[in-house]
Amino acid sequence: MTAFLEEHAAQVEQAAARIRDHVCRTPALTTDLDQSIRLKPECFQVTGSFKPRGAFNAVLSLVARGERPRGVIAVSSGNHAQAVALAASSVGIPALILIPEDANPAKVAATRALGAEVIQEGINFANREDRLREVMAERGYTLVHPFDDWDVIHGQGTAARELLEDAPDLEVIAAPVGGGGLLSGSAISAKHHRGSIKVVGVEPVVADDAYRSWQSHSIQTLATSPTTLADGVRTTHIGERNFAVMIEEGLVDEIVTVSEEEIANAVAVAWSRLHLALEPTGALTLSAYLSGKLPQGRAGLMLSGGNANLQTVSTILGK
C-alpha cells in the first residue's frame, strides 16, 4: 500500500469522526434485482444527496484549524449548494452560492430555505468561474469547491467506507463521476479496504470528459457544458486532485459511459421497482449495472442523490 493511499485513507477516517453528528449513516440495501449487489442510497442523506459529507468536513475543518471565515462561497447546480448552506448555518457562517440560471428550481429553493444567499442572474456554466472570482474578491469569502478540495474528497470517501463496513466482501465499487469528488473518495476507501476491489466511475456518453481523461492520462475538457438528464455531472472536466487519485495514482480501474436512454431506464427502474426516488445522476451506477457495463462480481452501487426534477421524472415514467 502506497504512502499516498495510507495518508488519504487516514484523512477519510478523521472525516468520518468529524462529520458523524451531522450526517446520516445510510444503509447498504439488498435488492431482488440481484442478491449479489448492494445499494448505497445517498438519497436518504440529509439534503437528499451525498454532498453534505464533503461540505461538512470542509467547513468543520476550516473552523477546527482556526480559519473561521467571514463566509463561505460555492458554485453548484444544486446539491453541493444545499450541502454548503447547511454546513455553514450549523456553525453560524454566512453562505453565498452561485447557481446557473437553468438549474433545477427545487434545488435552488431548498438552498435558499437553508439560509444561503443565492445569485443566479446572469450565471451560466461558461461564466460561473469568472463570476466566482469576482464575488470572492468583493466579499472576502472562502471557497468550498464542489470536488477539487482534499477536505471535500475525504468527506465524500466516508460513504464508501460505510458501505464496506456493512458489506466487506464487495468486489466492485461503482460511483458516478462529474468533477470526481465522490469517485476519488470512494477509490481511496475501497483500495484501502482491499487492493483487489475494482473501482469504476460512471458518466453519461455526452459528458465523457472523465472517460477521455482516463484513456489519455491527461485532463480532458469539454468545449461546453453537456446537456444530459444527469444534471449533477455537467462539469466540463475533473479536478486536479481528483485526477491525481483516479489516474496518476491508479486508484480507479475503469470509467464507463451510459446513454441518455440507459439513464432514463435506470430512473424508471429505481422509482417503479426499487421504490427509490433517485434523480438521474443518482441512477448512473444503476444504469451501468442494468446495461451490463460493470465488471463481474459482488458490486456496491453508490446512488448519489434523490433531488429530482419531478417534471423530468414524470416524463420518464410516462413513457
pLDDT, tens only, 94-120? 999 998 888 878 888 999 999 999 999
Place of cell 413513457: 319
Instruction: Count CB atoms within 10 A of the CB of residue 273.
Output: 11
Q: Examine the pLDDT at 7 and tell me if it is beyond 90.
A: yes
Which residues, listed in sequence order, are joined to residue 96 by a DSSP beta bridge? 73, 117
For 296, residues 6+ apart whose C-beta sits below 8 A from its C-beta are none
Which residues, listed in sequence order, are joined to residue 73 by a DSSP beta bridge? 96, 143
Give residue 48's pLDDT.
95
Q: Do residues 97 and 81 touch, judged by C-beta distance below 8 A?
A: yes
Q: Do residues 135 and 65 touch, judged by C-beta distance below 8 A?
A: no
Using alpha carbons, list the distances in angstroms from residue 200 to 73, 115, 177: 31, 36, 9
For 180, residues 6+ apart whose C-beta sits below 8 A from its C-beta are 147, 148, 201, 210, 238, 239, 242, 243, 245, 246
Q: What is the DSSP letter of 309?
A: -
3 state DSSP class of 152:
helix
- Residue 286 CA to residue 281 CA, distance in Å, equals 10
Give residue 123's pLDDT.
85
Going by pLDDT thresholds of 50, 70 and 90, the confidence category of residue 130 is confident
Q: Count of alpha carbons within 13 Å of 257, Cβ hemisphere only?
A: 15
Domains and their CATH numbers in the chain: 3-45+149-317 (3.40.50.1100), 53-143 (3.40.50.1100)
pLDDT one-digit tens code per residue, 8-32: 999 999 999 999 999 999 999 999 9
Q: Examine the pLDDT at 155 and tell me if it is beyond 80.
A: yes
N-term to C-term CA, the chain = 49
Of 200 and 67, the one with more pLDDT: 200
Amino acid at 247: I
3 state DSSP class of 14:
helix
